Amino acid sequence: MLTLALTPDQIVTLVTAANLRVDFGAELLDANDQVIEDISEDLAGGEVEHNNFADVHGTCSLQLSRELDWNTARVRPYQTLTAEGLTKTWPLGVFLLTTPETPLGENPKTYTVAGYDKLHLLQKPVGDTYFVATGTGYLVAVAQVITAAGYTGVAPFLDGTAVEKTLAAPMVWVLDTKSPTRYIDVVNALLSAIGYRGLYADASGRFRSEPYQSPAIRPPVWTFDLGDSRTQIVGERRTLTTDGFTQTNWWRFIRTGQSVAPTEGSGMYTVDLSAGGTKVKSVTERNAADQASLEAAGDVIVQAAQQVTRTLEITTGPWPVAGHLDVVQYKDPAGAMDHRCEVRSWRMPLDGKSDMSLTLEVL
């Protein structure tokens, strides 16, 4: 796969060029995500979708003219943009393929196959009680769960901020046949305990997580400016939907497992958004490594409770920059808007002949 290093300004020049050429392809990978071969000649088209709030964030639909070992095959589609003397290729995720229907009466055959990103295998039940001992590092425990789920060849890329944090008490998931614990449940509970965001797979297929940071303070990765004809790639069709949010306006989070009674700032974290009016309360106990982790996990819940106030549906030209929970700046003179937004979901046709669609949440 061709991967040239371009500056941010060069990427803007490339993506927004009037003479943009779009190419696409896919690589067949082994169980360690090493390239077996490029199968672009067998790929007629398809699309990739990403929903940041689904159990499995990434999905794809590919049209392949070649039969693969569907039970073991994993592929990494990519998109290449060329313009203004610049070329760059973006990987679009690693996908585990399902077994497609076999087309009859076609020669050559074209298989329409669905794929799911690597979170898919972490959705399966653990199948027994799962135990993490006191003193185990949280990040070590996360890697152990991923290995137990069957990923043995590729280590997760986890931010090392909490590498020194260890369990002060054991964490146990008791076998429950009616509501079985999944590997992803264990992973995300461990990550939440240290204030990390839920596990996700990046564009190269690597598992990642890092300390949670509110999208309201994360820097934008891109600016969609409908008033700038030079860089404008947003289509005419765009809509804004306004929704209410939860009635809850007061939250208290309590850290479990402390040897002393929790107090505010020491095992207790309270968020009051009632503005002096009637308090609609929520009290939650959390397994957290420390006070900072308790507060980070609480902030995730508070932010999620206020989501979906204003949602934008837009279309764009090819934008392979899209990743996981991106923050973008959206400027639209028609709606008198200049807002930071978080990308909730996106759908990208590989060939670039039809528009890409994005759902943005106004922050």
pLDDT tens-digit series, residues 208-262: 999 999 898 999 999 999 999 999 999 998 998 877 656 788 999 999 878 788 8
Tokens of 99: 């077994």
Give pLDDT, residue 7.
94
What is the SS3 assignment for 218? coil
User: Has domain 8-117 been given CATH number 2.70.170?
Assistant: no
Distance between CA atoms of residues 141 and 289, nearest Å:
13
Query: At 61, phi and psi to the nearest 5?
Result: -135, 120
Report how far apart, in Å, the C-alpha atoms of 107 and of each of 65, 66, 104, 249 are.
Answer: 10, 11, 9, 62
Give pLDDT, residue 73.
93
Which DSSP category does 124 fall into? Answer: S
What is the SS3 assignment for 309? coil
Nearest of 193, 168, 146 to residue 257 by alpha carbon: 168
> What is the model's pTM?
0.85
Give pLDDT, residue 354.
93
Tokens of 150: 């069957």
Give pLDDT, residue 307.
60
CATH of domain 124-209: 3.55.50
**Cis geometry, peptide bond prior to residue 108 (ω within 30 degrees of 0):** yes
Distance between CA atoms of residues 139 and 190, nearest Å:
8
Which DSSP category does 303 fall into? Answer: H
Give pLDDT, residue 281.
83
Nearest of 175, 165, 168 to residue 127 by alpha carbon: 175
Distance between CA atoms of residues 323 and 202, nearest Å:
7
Identify the segments of the chain with pLDDT beneath 50: none
Report how far apart, in Å, the C-alpha atoms of 9 and of each of 13, 15, 227, 324 are.
Answer: 6, 10, 18, 21
Give pLDDT, residue 305.
76
What is the SS3 assignment for 343? strand
Residue with tokens 């973008």: 328
Tokens of 5: 């290093």
> For the chain, what are the domain ranges?
8-117, 124-209, 222-243+308-362, 250-304
**Which residues have C-beta within 8 Å of that of residue 5, sequence separation ≥ 6?**
none
